[in-house]
């Protein structure tokens, strides 16, 4: 991966976390754990974790409804030709790491 892609992924991750923190209600905690470019950086998959686990479906529905506003927020805060098409996915690996940590404690 190119250095520029890493910088843009990092910026999208930071801005996504800021937007979600501002827009999401207190019913659940949504954490952005990563951003991965796909299809020559035309698509960006935003990886998230949600607490409590029961709120995952509602959180994904909320994020999908807010996708356009998030893209506008990113466009307003990063200079780039075009904002990639955004999608959201649960970070199952991070959830598994958390469960392993809980079991080990």
Q: Which burial class, exposed, middle or buried, applies to 54 when counting CB atoms under 10 A from its CB (0-12, 13-18, 19+)?
A: exposed
At 11, the pLDDT band (50, 70, 90 cuts) reads very high
Among 45, 29, 28, residue whose Cα is nearest residue 37: 45
Residue 56 exposed, middle or buried by CB count within 10 Å (0-12, 13-18, 19+): middle
Average pLDDT over residues 92-97: 72
pLDDT of res. 96: 64
Q: Compute φ and ψ for 35, nearest 5 degrees.
A: -135, 135
Which residue ranges make up each domain of the chain? 3-104
> Using an 8 Å Cβ cutoff, are 44 and 36 in contact?
yes
d(C-alpha 16, C-alpha 74), whole Å: 8
Q: Kindly report the CATH number that applies to the domain delimited by 3-104.
A: 3.30.300.20
Report the DSSP beta bridge partners of residue 45.
Answer: 36, 87
What mean pLDDT is reported for the chain?
Answer: 88
- Cα 30 from Cα 3, distance rounded (Å): 27
pLDDT at 100 over 60: yes
Cut 0.75: pTM above it: yes
């Amino acid at each position: 991966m190119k250095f520029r892609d890493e910088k843009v992924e990092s910026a999208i991750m930071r801005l996504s976390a800021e937007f979600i923190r501002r827009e999401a209600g207190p019913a659940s905690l949504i954490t952005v754990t990563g951003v991965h470019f796909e299809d020559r950086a035309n698509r960006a998959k935003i990886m998230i974790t949600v607490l409590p686990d029961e709120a995952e479906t509602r959180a994904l529905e909320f994020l999908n409804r807010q996708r356009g506003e998030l893209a506008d927020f990113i466009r307003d805060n990063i200079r780039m030709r075009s904002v990639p098409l955004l999608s959201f996915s649960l970070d199952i690996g991070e959830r598994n790491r958390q469960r392993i940590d809980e079991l080990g404690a």
